[in-house]
A and B are shown apart, each in its own frame.
Chain A
């Protein structure tokens, strides 16, 4: 059965109980991912992007973490109500994950080949021989030369880029329908990053896997994704197609982000834009818009009430009071002079 909406997250709230109190990491995130779609979750550290992704696989440690509210539907099944046994069927099989740090997410005491075939042997009743054959195919696909020799080696014998390829091979060996990539290239050099991004792009086209890419690098997003969700303080502040976000952004935080990246065509004399201040405290998140304290256009209502989503076009939504019909025109007409 092919469902158009592969993943549907509704009003997700996730918190962690710590000695300091309750950290409200995710505060009402809703979005959908279609079959074969490439979606980016963009935000700074602590914005809740990784927690959201890990909720999909129930990888957040519980306790201290706990789901306060919300549902996650994958292929029509509610993941939030699923037990650990059910989750183990989904993890790796239907949803694959690539972690940020390839250097520490492989087991250093196991041969790479064993780590790749582990899932096949334990879940799918593959014989050793068939599993090895399948692993060779995967290693070849992710561009590892000499795969028969590599299969028998340990992770320390691989470079960073190679380890990340192995991680991708592990994530894709069951041909999952959704691949979650949590900062897959952050710890890699640019030339290796380009190789990995090309690889992910090709794989997506061949296998029609949907990808959720979590990153703070807007360059990587522009390179790979079709739709972007901008997350700030545990909430989505702007969602839209890639062109909406890069050329018709409406949220002041998105403006700030776009202005603060040094660009290759940046004029030297011009000062780099920046967002003053720091992200909100998630122990006591602000009542209104999470960005209000750093926003130069903030109005009184921004501090008091949470902004609703204002639709701009189909698929482009912005949570900002500036888009309310009663907002002052002067602030509304402000756009990105730089672009």
Chain B
């Protein structure tokens, strides 16, 4: 996985939170992956698996406990003030909750213009023009720029969030569950918009979601996370046709399909129990407690991610 042409390179990053004296929560516990220019890398996993922590590390909202993140061949975990500022012009984030991620006291124009004011030196007319252009780009109207967030529906607010992220012309956007708060008919509008913008502007995405069908639709490559680790990484199509890790298989077979005939015939692998607590987890396979195939070796050492076929990585002792 040492591809130097990658735009984003994540090397063994860890993010631990110290809870009490002898309790450490390992939210992200050693991740490696690359994201190429123009690619969408999807991260799927259940709540608490560390996917949002990972997203926050990538945009420098968290500082990783260990490991390196390279953006355009530049280490970003430690930056001086000036570089850190320049970084915010290249990497942006679209947040999950469109209701709480927009300041209710700012107009839409100012919300979108905030990034412009910091990074660009536009005249007043240019600024207005640029905001109008961004509004148009995400399918809103220029008249909307004088209104406040409460006047908009969830889907429209998410469009505003997208326009805000795009305002500084970033290369890389971290999308943290951007559609999970939206209704299906609105969700598909926003997904199509995210995809269209990528094609037009050559954007690179990290797309975080718990919804496997959504990730499959949008991502080129997918990493499946479980308790802070990637347990399987593959091309989107391949992962869905041939999942190898027992967790990915269970995850895929748990999704209810919107197709009653298939649902009736389907054999489901239902996982027992809940996700165990990530606090002070022993150094063995983390899926052990819920795995039906577990053997002795699984409880003894931690499985490393290994390449099974070209581009398909699995972390399981038994494969």
Binding site for B on A (CB under 8 A): 44-45, 159-162, 189-195, 197-198, 216-223, 242-243, 246-247, 256-264, 266, 268, 271-276, 278
B98 smallest CB distance to A (angstroms) = 13
Among B24-32, B52-60, B120-128, B211-219, which stretch is in contact with chain A?
A: B211-219
Q: Which residues in B have their C-beta under 8 angstroms from that of A45? A: 183
A167 CB to nearest B CB, Å: 16
Question: Does B137 count as interface, using CB distance less than 8 angstroms?
Answer: no
- The prevalent SS among residues of A at the interface is helix
CA–CA, A146 to B118, complex, Å? 57
- When the two chains form the complex, which single residue of B184, B254, B274 contacts A216, counting CB atoms closer than 8 Å? B184
Q: Which of B200-259 contact A (CB under 8 A)?
A: 210-214, 216-217, 236-237, 240, 250-259
Q: Which of chain A's residues has its CB closest to B240's CB?
A: A264
B257: which A residues are within 8 A, CB to CB? Answer: 219, 222-223, 263-264
Q: Which of B183, B258, B271 contacts A222 (CB 8 A)?
A: B258
Contacts of A160 in B (CB 8 A): 47
The 5 A-B residue pairs with the shortest CB-CB distance, nearest first, are: A219-B256, A260-B188, A194-B254, A262-B217, A189-B46
Given contacts A194-B268, A223-B256, 12 further A-B contacts (CB under 8 A): A159-B274, A161-B274, A190-B251, A217-B256, A219-B255, A243-B261, A246-B258, A256-B185, A263-B213, A263-B258, A274-B185, A278-B155
Q: List 28 A-B contacts (CB under 8 A).
A: A44-B185, A44-B186, A159-B274, A160-B47, A189-B47, A190-B46, A190-B212, A191-B251, A191-B271, A195-B272, A198-B270, A218-B184, A222-B257, A222-B260, A223-B256, A223-B263, A246-B259, A256-B185, A257-B185, A260-B184, A260-B187, A261-B258, A266-B213, A271-B195, A272-B217, A275-B189, A276-B189, A278-B156
Looking at B188, B237, B257, B261, the one whose CB has the most chain A CB atoms below 10 A away is B188
**A260-B187, A278-B153 known; A266-B274 Cβ under 8 A:** no
Closest chain A residue to B154, Cβ basis = A45
| A190 CB contacts on chain B under 8 angstroms | 46, 210, 212, 251, 254-255
Q: Could you mark each residue 270-289 of chain B with 1 if its beta carbon is under 8 Å from any beta carbon of chain A, else 0?
A: 11101100000000000000
* Cβ-based interface call for B192 (8 A): yes
Q: Which residues of the other chain, B, contact A278 by a CB distance below 8 angstroms?
A: 153, 155-156, 186
**Interchain nearest-CB distance for B255 vs A (Å):** 6
Are the C-beta atoms of A262 and B213 separated by less than 8 Å? yes
Query: Which residues of chain B from 46 to 89 have a CB within 8 Å of any chain A CB?
Result: 46-47
A226 to chain B, nearest CB (A): 9
In the assembly, what is the distance between CA of A151 and CA of B187, in Å?
40
Least Cβ–Cβ distance between A175 and chain B, in angstroms: 25
Contacts of A243 in B (CB 8 A): 260-261
- Chain B nearest CB: distance from A273 CB in Å? 7
How far does the alpha carbon of A221 sit from the alpha carbon of B260 in the complex, in Å? Answer: 8
Contact of A258 among B47, B258, B268 (CB under 8 A): B258
Q: Which of A44, A264, A276 contacts B183 (CB 8 A)?
A: A44
Residues of A contacting B46 in the complex (Cβ-Cβ under 8 angstroms): 189-192
Determine the distance from Cα of A318 to Cα of B183 in the docked complex, in whole angstroms: 22
Contact between A219 and B271, CB atoms less than 8 A apart:
no
Interface positions, chain B 81-125, Cβ under 8 Å from A, are none
| Pair A191/B187 contact, Cβ less than 8 Å | no
**Distance between Cα atoms of A216 and B179 in the complex (Å):** 14
Q: Does B10 contact A (CB under 8 A)?
A: no
Closest to B250 in A: A191
Residues of B near A217 (CB, < 8 A) are 256
Question: Across the interface, do A262 and B153 meet the contact criterion of CB distance under 8 Å?
Answer: no
Complex contacts, A219 vs chain B, CB 8 Å: 255-258
Is B191 located at the chain interface by the 8 A CB criterion? yes
Cα-based distance from A261 to B187 in the complex (angstroms): 8
A260 touches B263 (CB 8 A): no
- Which among A194, A216, A218, A262 is the interface contact of B188 at CB below 8 angstroms? A262
Residues of A within 8 A of B153 (CB): 278
Q: List chain B residues, Cβ under 8 A from A223.
A: 256-257, 263
| Contact across chains for B213 and A272 when beta carbons are under 8 A apart | no
> In the bound complex, how far is the Cα of B251 from the Cα of A273, in angstroms?
25
A94 to B95, CA, bound (A): 43
B20 CB to nearest A CB, Å: 17
Report the Cα distance A160→B217, complex, angstroms. Answer: 28
CA distance A193 to B271 in the complex (A): 10
Q: What separation, in Å, do the CA atoms of A245 and B253 have in the docked complex? A: 23
Contacts of A246 in B (CB 8 A): 258-261
Pairwise interchain contact A264-B212, C-beta atoms closer than 8 A: yes
In the complex, which residues of chain B have a beta carbon less than 8 angstroms from the beta carbon of A159? Answer: 274
Q: Do B192 and A271 have beta carbons less than 8 Å apart? A: yes
Residues of B148-188 at the interface with A, using a CB-CB cut-off of 8 Å, are 153, 155-156, 183-188
- When chains A and B are docked, how far (Å) is the Cα of A195 from the Cα of B255? 11
Task: Check A261/B260 contact, CB under 8 A, given A194-B268, A219-B255, A268-B237.
Answer: no
